[in-house]
Amino acid sequence: MLKGLLKDSLAYDDSPCVVAWDTHRNKAAGFILNHTFHVDQALENCRPPIPYSNYSWDKQWLQPIQDLEHYKHYLSMSSIFADYRYKKIMKAQIGCTGPDYTNQKVMSRLYQKGVEQVQACKGAYDAIVGESTNKQTYRLFQKFDFELLHEFDLVNRYPSFKNCENPQITVGIWMKRL
């Protein structure tokens, strides 16, 4: 499933992505996939992202995932373009650290490099947007001075999340103005 998701994400556009490569083990330690969004997507020759619902999910999770996907799409793009009058944003779409590299600040270094990379584009982007889906990314966005725009309470909206082991209580939508 991850291989298909990465292939679809990388085929979406040519936005800068960041990879931490372990040269000793010759494998990825972590990565961040970014997507560029424009106020008028019709101006760009690109396809919409592949819906998460195209992947294999347990039936009990499919509707909550589709609801969350719709919510995230609306808030992280349409609302930001309307409220801030931005023309182009970089969205940190997916971030992942390999299991051998947890608690080694790999994701922190990836975000630092990613922010630097977007800032080096000198005015090409109005903001960077991302979602915190766990406590680590929540703290990461705080560390890099992202503004918390909205939190979506999963447990109160979807009671089944209470049954998950170590559930993430909220999803946060964050933005860093450039």
- CATH code, domain with 126: 3.40.630.30
Each of the 178 residues of the chain gets a pLDDT tens digit; together they read: 445 655 666 666 667 788 888 999 988 888 888 888 887 654 444 455 566 667 777 776 677 677 666 666 555 566 777 788 888 899 888 888 888 998 899 999 999 999 998 899 888 899 999 988 888 888 999 999 999 988 877 666 666 666 666 656 677 889 999 9
Q: pTM of the entire structure?
A: 0.70
The residue segments making up the domain with residue 43 are 2-177
Of 73, 92, 75, 65, the residue nearest 146 (C-alpha) = 92
Q: What is the C-alpha separation between 55 and 115, in angstroms, rounded?
A: 30
Of 15, 11, 132, 153, the residue nearest 76 (C-alpha) = 132
Domain count, the chain: 1
